[in-house]
Amino acid sequence: MRILVTGGAGFIGSNFARLAVRKGHDVLVFDKLTYAGNMENIRDLLDPGKIEFVQGDVCDARAVREAVRGCDGIVHFAAATHVDRSILEAGTFVQTDVVGTYVVLEAARQENVGRVVHISTDELYGESGPKPSREDSPLWPKSPYAASKAGADRLAYSYHATYDLPVVITRCVNNYGPYQHPEKAIPLFTICALVGHPLPVYGSGRNRREWIHVDDHTEALLAVLRAKGLEGETFNIGTGERKSTLEIAQAVVDAVGKPRGLISRVADRPGHVKSHAVDSGKIRRRIGWKPTRRFAAGLPEAVRWFVEHPAWWRKTVTDAGRAYFEERYPGLVPAVEKLGASG
Ligand code: NAD
Ligand code: TYD
């Protein structure tokens, strides 16, 4: 199968591309290479010619249509993804996540693509109630990121309902694992712990998220891409493993072998969702997928990846992401640079 992977130089997209190649598929990565896109994430695939790569913007209809032509399936990851950044620059999120998704869907329709997997998120449910959110739960997104993704999610559904485009929508919980951008909580906490910088826990530290290892997510996506008869369906993807921010910070410092005293409370995020939790029974029943990694084993393994790849995160923090880290986490960039200078 020839698969177009939009956003394939980012965290989940690059892990998905690696899995798809391993399973014998032809992969074309289409990515704008924003601050979040990184060629190093796909270097091992690109250099030996295992994938093709096109640098382009999902909002550029002509470039997207050219990339889509001849593909059997599209997995649409490309998006602006960080909640904190969406609070600072909502317009980028509306443009990339909503308009970019429209452009991808339109190209898929014109080129008669056989399957489009639209990567949505559990963030669009907003606060989960006493019970985990189901696929038919109401959508109450709280951040510009979540609201933009909600728009994209419903637009993707509308292309199935209106034009019969074979779209499947997935809403996954928080991912962790190799190549995750250091602006996200687990890599950020890991880097802080490694360089001896306080771990910035927002507010009470009691906000909870459901966590999945990126390999479990990408396995689910490949299964969804290949399964027959799911057109127009939406699937939550989750593990049932919910952790507070404080528990995450503690697990990270424990894995790195640093004192818990490094954990510090900072001002809360505006609109900070208290709890995200999904019911992922539907995907388990319909396609037989289930996660294979427990958080207790997966988290230390992910932390170890960052310990073993200091050049990767040092460059990300001090290069494309520099201004953002300097503004939000004073002292972190010099600490990272000092570590670089000392080896
Ligand atoms: P990421 O920020 O690591 O990667 C996003 C990629 O998209 C980058 O390579 C970036 O260069 C690219 N991109 C951004 N704007 C683009 C544009 N205009 N045109 C082309 N490419 C563009 O994000 P991620 O964590 O890998 O998330 C991937 C997808 O999964 C997103 O759609 C996100 O909403 C969704 N998702 C993420 C999580 C999570 O926990 N990370 C959970 C659920 C869903
Ligand atoms: P994040 O990785 O940004 O993902 P999301 O907002 O999509 O869930 O954050 C995960 C949790 O960690 C969330 O509750 C916010 C919290 N957090 C902090 O406490 N401090 C930080 O510096 C960051 C980036 C996140």
Q: For the chain, how are helix, strand and coil distributed in percent, rounded to 5? A: 50, 15, 35
Per-residue pLDDT tens over the stretch 218-243: 999 999 999 999 999 999 999 999 99
**Mean pLDDT, the chain, whole residue set:** 97
Alpha-carbon span 299 to 251, nearest angstrom: 8
Alpha-carbon span 51 to 38, nearest angstrom: 15
* 291 ligand 2 Cβ < 6 A: no
- The pLDDT-based confidence of 341 (bands split at 50, 70, 90) is low
- The pLDDT-based confidence of 339 (bands split at 50, 70, 90) is confident
At residue 112, the 3 state secondary structure works out as coil
- Region of 278 please: left (phi>0), alpha (psi -120 to 50) or beta: beta
pLDDT of residue 320: 86
Alpha-carbon span 147 to 86, nearest angstrom: 10
Q: What is the mean pLDDT of residues 256-283?
A: 97
Ligand that comes closest to the CA of residue 267: 2
* 243 ligand 2 Cβ < 6 A: no
Q: How many Cα atoms sit within 13 Å of 77 on the Cβ side?
A: 27
Structure tokens, 253: 């410092």
Of ligand 2's listed atoms, the one at least distance from the Cα of 82 is: 3
Catalytic residues: 122-123, 145
- CA angle, 96 then 316 then 44, to 5°: 85
Per-residue pLDDT tens over the stretch 207-217: 999 999 999 99
User: Does the pLDDT of residue 342 top 70, yes or no?
Assistant: no
Q: What is the mean pLDDT of residues 242-256?
A: 98
* 202 ligand 2 Cβ < 6 A: yes
* 332 ligand 2 Cβ < 6 A: no
Ligand that comes closest to the CA of residue 325: 2
User: Does the pLDDT of residue 331 top 90, yes or no?
Assistant: yes
CA 88 to ligand 2 centroid distance, Å: 15
Alpha-carbon span 142 to 273, nearest angstrom: 7
Ligand that comes closest to the CA of residue 209: 2
Q: Which CATH superfamily is domain 185-208+241-270+293-338 in?
A: UDP-galactose 4-epimerase, domain 1 (3.90.25.10)
The residue assigned the tokens 């507070």 is 244
Residues with CB under 6 A from ligand 1: 7, 9-13, 31-34, 36-37, 57-59, 77-81, 96, 100, 119, 121, 149, 172, 174-175, 181
Two domains, one topology: 2-175+212-237 and 185-208+241-270+293-338: no
Q: Where are the domains of the chain?
A: 2-175+212-237, 185-208+241-270+293-338
Per-residue pLDDT tens over the stretch 112-145: 999 999 999 999 999 998 899 999 999 999 999 9
* 208 ligand 2 Cβ < 6 A: no
The percent of residues above 90 in pLDDT, for the chain, comes to: 97
Per-residue pLDDT tens over the stretch 75-105: 999 999 999 999 999 999 999 999 999 999 9
CATH number of 2-175+212-237: 2.40.33.10, 3.40.109.10, 3.50.30.10, 3.40.50.720? 3.40.50.720
Per-residue pLDDT tens over the stretch 7-46: 999 999 999 999 999 999 999 999 999 999 999 999 999 9
CA 335 to ligand 1 centroid distance, Å: 27
CA 189 to ligand 2 centroid distance, Å: 10
CA 263 to ligand 2 centroid distance, Å: 14
Q: What is the mean pLDDT of residues 257-286?
A: 97
